[in-house]
Every structure is written in structure tokens, then in C-alpha cells.
Amino acid sequence: MRFAHSLALVAFVVATGCQKKQETSPGSSPAATAASAPASGEAILVGHVTSLAGNEATFGLSANNGVKLAIDEANAKGGVKGKQLKLVVYDDQGKPEEAATAATRLATQDQVTVLLGELTSSRSLAIAPIADTNQLPTISPASTNPKVTKDGEKTRPNMFRVCFIDPFQGTVMARFARQNLKLGKVAILRDVTSDYSVGLADFFTREFTRLGGQIVADVSYKAGDQDFKAQLVAVKAKSPELVYLPGYYTDVALIGRQAREIGLKVPMAGGDGWDSGKLYEIAQGALDGSYFSNHYTDENPSPVVQDFVKKYQQLYGTRPDAFAALGYDAARVAIEALQRAPSPTRTAVRDAIEQTKGFQGVTGNISFDADHNPVKSAVVLGIEHNKPKYVSTIEP
């Protein structure tokens, strides 16, 4: 009970705080602001579970900004079939058990029609059984582990995502390392507490060795560790040409700095968990020459991308990262499905989401396959002068 009270308070603070920010942002219109909080009896409720505090808070803040932008745009255009959308947000503080509690509350008490979230695979896996039990259609912006939409051989009926999945992302960087960079020896440094990190490491290893490369070391750490030098010394002893580090930016940046301190100067590579402005702030240039796979780049000249970048930057005062773009796309897929559904029931909306084909998102065209995954390209970004730079696009 005490936790449920705390969760509700967090949700209230998030909602009122976001509203205030919209009112003072130069990019928001009075119509969009007014539409942010319609009376619940007149609204279609959309839930969002994300991390606004904790180790990956920048991911959650970005995604929530993207979600809010999509909801406000829809409301400014009249909502869905004459009804406004009301966004109900809960902060899970980066903890799977709190993500599950939040999802349960949204499903059973708040009675939302559709749920957005979570960003990370571990927390989406905590939400997945709740979504299926309550027949609540759920779209994850960024959970890349295949198990999020698959329960063994069975597709989870209510779980969807708008991001590519780890088998593809791991394959992308393995091919880039072997074929583009012409490297033969790679060391792996994985976070054994993260489904995301373990999955990416496994898929990278499988493809890199299939292409004739050699994994010379496979070393582990745990999220939140502060001292990685023992692992890095072991890696350095194997003389790799690259270190594959599929973790989150908080750990990655520290590992990059400590690697340089012990004289391990080979490039590092990772996945979309690197994508945060905090990475560069913490790394202080230590990751220059490194690479990571990502869902989109704000350098893409596409009018769809540049229109989104312009609106987001006007509203929030910063350029959108991939998590902002994925949050925006997840919300827009949900809104478009609500428009197509014959009724605003969970089952009808779930069916409409499943039938999504050729949706033009900021992060690419979205059509769901039989496992509720989109078939999309990935980009590879390099780090130069402590900033990300577009390098290549890798197709499925």
C-alpha cells in the first residue's frame, strides 16, 4: 500500500510538471497545452511506464518527451474520433518490480486503453505477463530483447515494439566490425545483470565468429560497478582490435575512461544503450574512435525526420536522441491504431496495432511481422571529438 501511494504521487508530480513545461515552452501552442489533460471521462486514456529516475533516466525523459509531443499533436488536431487523449505517466525508477506495479495499476485501476513502455528489455519483460493477463495492448519504444514479444515459441498477443531487435542489432555491429573495419580479434565486455547486454553480446559473438572473426575474451561486469580495471586488464592481455561493450551509457562511459587509463586504446563498440548526451559528458573524450548501432540519426535529411527534430527542439530546447524518436513513433503507432479500430476497446486496438503496415515513422517504416517486431534498418554512429557522427546504414 505504501508503495502504491508513492507511485501515485510520482505520477501526479510528473503530470503537473510536464504541463508546466509545455506552458512555458516556445514550441507549444495553446491548443496543444489545453489538450494535454482533458477530463478523464471524456478522454481515451493512454498509459506510459518509463524511467524518469534511476541509472537510465535520460532514456525515459527523452521517450516521455516524444510521447507527449505525439499526444499533444493528436489532441491539437481534434483527438481520436472526437475524443481527446489523456496521458497517464508512471515513473518506475529503473526497477523491473516497479514497472510491473505501474503496469498493473494502469491496467486495473486507471483502465487505460493502450500502454506505452517500457524502454529496457528487463522492465518490459516484467510488464509482458501483466499486459497479456489484462489483454492490454502494449508498445515498447526500445526494448530489443526477442523475449519481450515471444514467450518461448509463442508470440505474446499484446506485446509490440517499434525498435529493431537484438539479433539484428548484434549482427549489425558484428558485420560492421568484420566487413567494414576488417577486424579479426574482438573482446566482449558484458553486463551479466542485463538481458539487453547479454543478448547483444551473444548475437554479436554468433555473427562475428560465423564471419571468421575470433572472440579473444568474454568478460563480465554488473551494472552500477565503479571499478572495471580488473576486467580491462584481462581484456588488454588478449590484445583485441576492438572491445564490444553492449551496455548502458552510465557504465560504458566509465569503462571507456578506465580503459584509456590502463593504456587500452583500441576502439569500443556497442548498441543503442550508448545513446545519451550523458555518455559524452561522463566519457570526456575517452570514447573517440568508437562506434555504436542506433535506431536513427538526426542528420537524416528526410523531411519526416527533420520536421520532428525541429518541433522537438523548439519545444524542449535540445535535439532529440533515438529514445525521443522511438517514444514519438510508439505513441503515433498507438494513435493511428486507435483511429482505425472500430471501437476504443483493448481488443479492437490490439488488432489494429497488429495490422499496422507501412507506417512512416521517424525511425523508419513500421510494419509488424508475425512476432510483432518491425523490420527496419539500423544506423552506425561513430564518435568524433566527443560527439556522435553518422557513419553507415545497415539494412535487414
**pLDDT for 117-127, tens place per residue?**
999 999 999 99
Q: What distance in Å separates the CA atoms of residue 51 and residue 155, rounded to the nearest whole number?
A: 26
Q: What distance in Å separates the CA atoms of residue 208 and residue 170, rounded to the nearest whole number?
A: 9
* Per-residue pLDDT at 37: 39
pLDDT confidence tier of residue 18, bands split at 50, 70 and 90: very low
Amino acid of residue 250: T
Q: Which residues contact 248 (CB under 8 A, 6 or more apart)?
A: 55, 56, 191, 194, 196, 197, 223, 273, 274
Q: If you average pLDDT over residues 376-385, what whole number do you get? A: 94
pLDDT confidence tier of residue 26, bands split at 50, 70 and 90: very low
* Per-residue pLDDT at 375: 86
* Per-residue pLDDT at 395: 81
**pLDDT for 89-132, tens place per residue?**
999 999 999 999 999 999 999 999 999 999 999 999 999 999 99
Ordered by start, the domain boundaries in the chain are: 2-164+302-376, 166-294
Q: If you average pLDDT over residues 64-75, what whole number do you get? A: 98
Given 3.40.50.620, 3.40.50.1370, 3.40.50.880, 3.40.50.2300, which CATH number is that of 2-164+302-376?
3.40.50.2300
Q: Residue 238 pLDDT more than 80?
A: yes
Cα separations (Å) of 228 from 81, 201, 235, 244, 290?
A: 54, 18, 11, 15, 18
Residue-level length of the chain: 396
* Per-residue pLDDT at 258: 98
Q: If you average pLDDT over residues 381-395, what whole number do you get? A: 93
Q: If you average pLDDT over residues 227-247, what whole number do you get? A: 98
Strand 291-294 and strand 242-244: the pairing is: unpaired
Q: What is the mean pLDDT of the chain?
A: 90
Are the CB atoms for 348 and 360 separated by under 8 Å? Answer: no
Q: What distance in Å separates the CA atoms of residue 172 and residue 158, rounded to the nearest whole number?
A: 28
Q: Residue 6 pLDDT more than 50?
A: no
Domains 2-164+302-376 and 166-294 share a fold: yes
Q: What distance in Å separates the CA atoms of residue 24 and residue 316, rounded to the nearest whole number?
A: 10
Q: If you average pLDDT over residues 342-371, what whole number do you get? A: 96
Q: Which residue from 116, 120, 145, 119 is spatially nearest to 131, judged by alpha carbons? A: 116
pLDDT confidence tier of residue 54, bands split at 50, 70 and 90: confident
Q: Residue 16 pLDDT more than 90?
A: no
Percent of the chain with pLDDT over 70: 90
Q: Residue 38 pLDDT more than 80?
A: no
* Per-residue pLDDT at 195: 87
Q: What is the pTM of this model?
A: 0.83
Q: Residue 32 pLDDT more than 80?
A: no
SS3 147: helix
Q: Which residues contact 297 (CB under 8 A, 6 or more apart)?
A: 379, 381, 388, 390
Q: If you average pLDDT over residues 22-35, what whole number do you get? A: 28
Q: If you average pLDDT over residues 148-155, what whole number do you get? A: 96
Amino acid of residue 336: E
Q: Residue 40 pLDDT more than 60?
A: no
**pLDDT for 266-304, tens place per residue?**
999 999 999 999 999 999 999 999 999 999 999 999 999
Give 42's DSSP letter.
G
For the stretch 101-126, what's the b/e string if a residue is b when 16 or more beta carbons lie within 10 angstroms of its beta carbon?
Answer: bbbbbbbeebebbbbbbbbbbbbbbb
Compare 377 and 322 and report the one with higher pLDDT.
Answer: 322
pLDDT confidence tier of residue 353, bands split at 50, 70 and 90: very high
Q: What distance in Å separates the CA atoms of residue 242 and residue 72, rounded to the nearest whole number?
A: 44
Question: What string of DSSP letters covers 291-347?
Answer: EEEES--TT---HHHHHHHHHHHHHHSS---HHHHHHHHHHHHHHHHHHHSSSSSHH
* Per-residue pLDDT at 41: 57
* Per-residue pLDDT at 15: 38
Percent of the chain with pLDDT over 90: 86
pLDDT confidence tier of residue 33, bands split at 50, 70 and 90: very low
Q: Rounded to the nearest 5°, which phi and psi values hold at 187?
A: -105, 145
Fold (CATH) for 166-294? Rossmann fold (3.40.50)
Are the CB atoms for 46 and 87 separated by under 8 Å? Answer: yes
Amino acid of residue 282: I
Please compute Rg for the chain using Cα positions: 21
* Per-residue pLDDT at 9: 32
Compare 271 and 19 and report the one with higher pLDDT.
Answer: 271
Are the CB atoms for 207 and 170 separated by under 8 Å? Answer: yes
